Amino acid sequence: MSALRSYRLLVVWQARRMRMFLPLGIVVQALFALGIVAGYPLLFPALDRTTILYLATGAPVIALITMGLVAVPQMVSAAKTEGTLSYMRSLPIPRIVYLLADMTVWLAVVIPGVVFAVVIASIRFGLDLQISPLVVPAVMLVALTATSIGYALASLVPPMVANMASQVLVVFILMFSPLNFPADRLPGWLATVHSVLPIQAMGEVMRGTLDTNSFPLTAGAFLLLGAWCAASFAATGVVLTRRA
């Protein structure tokens, strides 16, 4: 049976399985974006243009990352616990196809939130964003990387640990990652950490494609992200194929 046919059937299977969750997931993603755009300004007495631009372009990235690093590990851990993962592994389907099908459904959940975040920020702050067509590959790369890391995390560690880790990651991403603020505000050591982690690069590729006038787009960020994506995708592939 062709991989493409398996992929199609699995996407339908997963979409149906998550039928109840899909609309809810989309609403939560949208609320999340709305919260960042409308809620963060409450923290600051006056908003300058830089702050506004960071908030507007940070919101969609945060929507993408939290989906991959928080929702995915939780759902994959649940699938592990209830035995879905083993069942899927016992079927004559290439593991990579299973992973890609799963990611496709995740992407469908997160995209409306991303679009909504950009639209709501533009309206709220009256922005005229210069969006590059490169935003499409940027979104795909960020989503794929975040989901792969989330998947690898959930596959490698026990469900309890994965859930705890995903909670810690939320705080780290929201408060201590240069997504809603420039990286130069970080203390030196944290800036160094972020220069190798994928989070800052995710912010950079999204910002650079969402408003080409205000932010530079560097090949370095794409490369770093590509490396993380490949590594975590490979790790997940290995874990899914591994026999106990």
- CA distance linking residue 145 with residue 68, whole number of Å: 8
Confirm or reject binding of residue 90 to other proteins (CB under 8 A): yes
CB 154 to other proteins: min, Å: 16
The three-class DSSP label of residue 16 is helix
| 19 lies in the binding site for other proteins (CB under 8 A) | yes
Choosing from 9, 34, 38, 134, the residue that interacts with other proteins (CB under 8 A) is 9
In 3-state terms, the chain is what percent helix, strand and coil (to 5)?
A: 80, 0, 20
- For residue 3, the minimal CB distance to other proteins (Å) is 12
Residue listed under structure tokens 């240069």: 178
Position among 45, 83, 133, 216 found at the interface with other proteins (CB under 8 A): 83
- Closest CA relative to residue 64, chosen from 119, 107, 14: 107
17 binds other proteins, rule: CB under 8 A: yes
Assess 187 for contact with other proteins (CB under 8 A).
no
Q: Is 21 helix (H, G, I), strand (E, B) or coil?
A: helix
Q: Which of 199/240 has CB closer to other proteins?
A: 240
Return d(Cα 138, Cα 206) in angstroms, integer: 6
Residue 208 near residue 215 (C-beta atoms within 8 A):
yes
CA angle 179/185/186 to nearest 5° reads 80
Tokens of 236: 């997940």
Residue 87, interface with other proteins (CB under 8 A)?
Answer: yes
Note the Cα 145 to chain centre separation in Å: 7
Q: How many residues bind other proteins (CB under 8 A)?
A: 25
Token output for 139: 């979104």
Q: Which stretch binds other proteins (CB under 8 A): 18-26, 55-63, 161-169, 192-200?
A: 18-26
45 makes contact with other proteins (CB under 8 A): no
Q: Which one, 97 or 120, has the nearer CB to other proteins? A: 97
Q: Select the span of 5-13, 32-40, 126-134, 174-182 touching other proteins (CB under 8 A).
A: 5-13
Spatial separation of the C-alpha atoms in residues 100 and 20, rounded to whole Å: 21
4 part of the interface to other proteins, by CB under 8 A: no
Q: How far is the CB of 116 from other proteins (least distance, A)?
A: 24
Q: Which residues bind other proteins (CB under 8 A)?
A: 1, 5-6, 9-10, 12-13, 16-20, 79, 82-84, 86-87, 89-93, 243-244
